[in-house]
């Protein structure tokens, strides 16, 4: 396989997750635009759409707007939310970043600012003081906002595919104008009147094959909560049309094969010679074809339940980044089905989920121990034969691939970098994935003799 160094722009899901050290993000895979013949142009997509902006709609729909701006501290102690301000603070911060574009904290967990951006007059760090070259060095490119604002399409209309890798400089920022997590990401036109529609072109074009199968109430979330993240490799219109993330399918094994072929979503550990997966948040992929999905349950059903306002008006809770088990309305929704399965109250529903989460977490822990033992054995075997590596034995390649596959399953079970082991229990066939991971581990150990 080929291994590429990933030079990825700051990413869909994790821009803000830098608070947790060691975030690895932004490996990606390939999708297909050609098949659908979709035209990635905002002009064609927004025909007839209402011209309102998020600010106008915020005033018209204060309950929905307020929900979207909410944040919470998740079970890993990381603050998360879908608000414009949070994204702005990160996408526009002149900070030292890793090769993925994520800010790198110092040993105390503080963000490190870029010295050239210091403005002595105001005593603050100002991104406007940085030139394009520094921004590109920081990996702060416009592709970063392709899954943060529908206004990216204006950049695309101006610059074409080059928009993905052009610096996110003052003029690009002026076009986006702080309108991150805008209503148009999920609503076509006036949100009170109109239909839902995933509004970010990026995933629709590159994620074709999966994106076009989704119910709207999954599709709006899937446009960001997916494993597809290879924006910094998009340089030409041809790239946009020919990248095929889902060419082998979207299940856990098909995705592995595709990424292995493309050499993305893996990292080589130079010291040990082992290849590890760095896949993040394949949420929609792993949700597909689960029992819940087949029953018609969607992301929005569990994460955006109906709520009642103080004056008795029913509305959709837009705090989608909330935990369903910390939300009474969501838990009541679960009981529609789970009551028949013997759960009598929202409190018990939450306890049921927590219990399953700890079962899943225990499964992950055991797997990690077994994977570490396999890795150690493989390392020793590789060291023993390194003298004669003129003909690197086939078994070594085969064993390395098996090892990479175990780490792939592990990333699937953990998904995003700030997520608590087990928190995906309602959203994927975790037992199936654990079984596969354990048997690939066994196969690898057996191969080493
Ligand atoms: C524009 C991209 C985007 C869309 C659309 C989106 N999300 Fe998110 N989501 C994110 C990002 C980025 C984060 C991390 C935010 C942070 O760190 O503050 C996040 C965080 C979350 C979290 C909290 C994760 C945690 O660690 O606890 C949940 C839950 C979530 N999203 C669910 C959803 C659901 C459900 C939908 C659809 C209704 C959705 N999101 C739509 C980008 C998106
Ligand atoms: C992550 C996706 C997402 C985003 C972003 C989003 N909405 Fe919604 N919105 C939904 C969903 C899901 C529904 C429920 C639609 C349904 O049940 O048919 C909804 C419904 C609504 C409704 C209909 C009334 C109701 O509450 O059910 C209004 C009004 C609305 N949204 C306003 C807004 C506004 C204003 C914004 C921007 C500030 C916004 N939405 C952003 C997903 C989103
Ligand atoms: C449309 C019906 C339906 C709804 C609504 C529903 N579930 Fe389920 N849920 C099921 C079924 C069916 C199963 C599978 C039971 C089995 O496999 O024995 C299940 C299983 C689960 C499991 C166990 C997964 C496992 O593999 O151990 C969890 C956790 C769960 N649901 C959480 C939730 C939560 C949380 C909600 C609400 C936010 C919810 N469910 C809403 C039907 C539903
Ligand atoms: C059956 C209900 C259900 C469905 C459907 C569902 N989720 Fe979840 N989701 C949950 C529960 C329960 C949690 C765990 C929250 C916790 O542990 O606090 C969760 C957690 C999450 C998290 C955060 C994980 C963490 O560690 O904080 C994200 C992100 C998320 N869901 C996104 C999605 C997306 C995207 C979809 C659709 C592809 C989806 N969810 C579908 C119930 C659901």
List CB contacts of 189: < 8 A, sequence separation 6 or more: 48, 49, 50, 52
Q: What single DSSP character describes residue 345?
A: S
Verify whether ligand 4 is closer than 6 Å to residue 325 (CB atom). Answer: yes
CA-nearest residue for atom 23, ligand 3, is: 426
Q: Does 418 score more than 80 pLDDT?
A: no
Instruction: Give CA–CA dist 424/319, Å, rounded.
Output: 18
Instruction: Give CA–CA dist 219/199, Å, rounded.
Output: 10
Which pLDDT tens digit goes with each residue over 157-201? 999 999 999 999 999 999 999 999 999 999 999 999 878 999 998
Which pLDDT does position 205 carry in this prediction?
Answer: 86
Which pLDDT tens digit goes with each residue over 291-309? 999 999 999 999 999 999 9
Instruction: Give CA–CA dist 144/164, Å, rounded.
Output: 7
Q: What spacing in Å lies between the alpha carbon of 170 and ligand 1's midpoint?
A: 26
Calculate mean pLDDT across residues 393-422.
90
The dihedrals phi and psi of 417, each to the nearest 5 degrees, come to -70, -20
Q: What single DSSP character describes residue 111?
A: B
Which pLDDT tens digit goes with each residue over 48-93? 344 568 888 999 999 999 999 999 998 888 889 999 998 898 889 9
Rounded alpha-carbon distances, angstroms, from residue 66 to 60, 80, 140, 319, 330: 11, 15, 29, 8, 18
Stated pTM of the model = 0.91
The answer to whether 158 and 178 are in contact (CB under 8 A) is no
- Give the distance between the most distant pair of CA atoms in the chain: 77
Which pLDDT does position 104 carry in this prediction?
Answer: 86
Judged by DSSP in three states, 204 sits in helix
Q: Is 143 left (phi over 0), alpha (psi -120 to 50) or beta?
A: alpha
Verify whether ligand 1 is closer than 6 Å to residue 423 (CB atom). Answer: no
Verify whether ligand 4 is closer than 6 Å to residue 17 (CB atom). Answer: no
Mean pLDDT score across all residues of the chain? 85
Verify whether ligand 1 is closer than 6 Å to residue 428 (CB atom). Answer: no
CA-nearest residue for atom 27, ligand 4, is: 419
CA angle 429, 435, 436 (to 5 degrees): 95
CA-nearest residue for atom 41, ligand 1, is: 221
The CA dihedral of 295, 296, 298, 301, to the nearest 10 degrees, is -90
Which pLDDT tens digit goes with each residue over 119-157? 999 999 999 999 999 999 888 999 989 999 999 999 999
Instruction: Give CA–CA dist 130/106, Å, rounded.
Output: 21
């Amino acid at each position: 396989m080929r291994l590429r160094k990933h030079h990825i722009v700051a990413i869909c899901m994790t821009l803000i997750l830098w608070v947790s050290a060691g975030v690895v993000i932004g490996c990606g895979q390939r999708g297909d635009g050609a098949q659908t013949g979709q035209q990635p142009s905002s002009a064609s997509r927004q025909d007839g759409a209402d011209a309102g902006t998020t600010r106008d709609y915020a005033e018209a729909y204060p309950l929905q707007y307020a929900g979207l701006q909410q944040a919470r501290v998740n079970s890993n102690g990381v603050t998360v939310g879908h608000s414009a301000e949070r994204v702005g603070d990160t996408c526009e911060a002149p900070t030292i970043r890793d090769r993925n574009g994520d800010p790198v904290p110092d040993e105390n967990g503080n963000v490190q600012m870029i010295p050239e951006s210091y403005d002595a007059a105001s005593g603050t760090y100002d991104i406007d003081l940085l030139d394009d070259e520094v921004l590109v060095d920081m990996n702060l490119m416009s592709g970063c906002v392709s899954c943060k604002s529908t206004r990216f399409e204006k950049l695309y209309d101006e610059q074409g595919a080059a928009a993905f890798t052009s610096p996110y400089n003052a003029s690009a920022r002026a076009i986006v104008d702080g309108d991150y997590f805008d209503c148009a990401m999920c609503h076509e036109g006036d949100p009170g009147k109109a239909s839902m529609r995933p509004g970010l072109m990026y995933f629709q074009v590159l994620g074709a094959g999966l994106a076009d199968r989704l119910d709207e109430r999954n599709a709006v979330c899937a446009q960001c909560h997916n494993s597809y993240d290879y924006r910094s490799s998009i340089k030409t219109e041809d790239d946009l049309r020919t990248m095929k993330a889902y060419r082998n399918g979207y299940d856990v094994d098909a995705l592995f094969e595709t990424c292995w072929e493309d050499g993305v979503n893996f990292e080589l550990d130079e010291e040990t010679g082992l290849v590890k997966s760095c896949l993040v948040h394949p949420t929609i992929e792993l949700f597909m074809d689960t029992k819940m999905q087949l029953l018609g349950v969607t992301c929005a059903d569990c994460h955006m339940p109906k709520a009642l306002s103080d004056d008795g008006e029913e509305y959709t809770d837009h705090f989608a980044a909330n935990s369903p088990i910390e939300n009474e309305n969501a838990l009541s929704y679960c009981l529609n089905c789970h009551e028949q399965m013997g759960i009598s109250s929202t409190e018990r529903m939450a306890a049921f989920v927590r219990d399953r989460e700890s079962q899943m977490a225990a499964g992950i822990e055991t797997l990690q121990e077994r994977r570490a033992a396999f890795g150690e054995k493989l390392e020793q075997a590789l060291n023993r034969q390194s003298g004669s590596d003129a003909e690197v034995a086939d078994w070594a390649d085969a064993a390395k691939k098996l090892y990479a596959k175990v780490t792939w399953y592990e990333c699937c079970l953990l998904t995003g970098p700030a997520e608590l082991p087990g928190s995906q229990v309602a959203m994927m066939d975790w037992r199936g994935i654990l079984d596969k991971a354990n048997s690939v581990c066994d196969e690898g150990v057996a191969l080493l003799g």
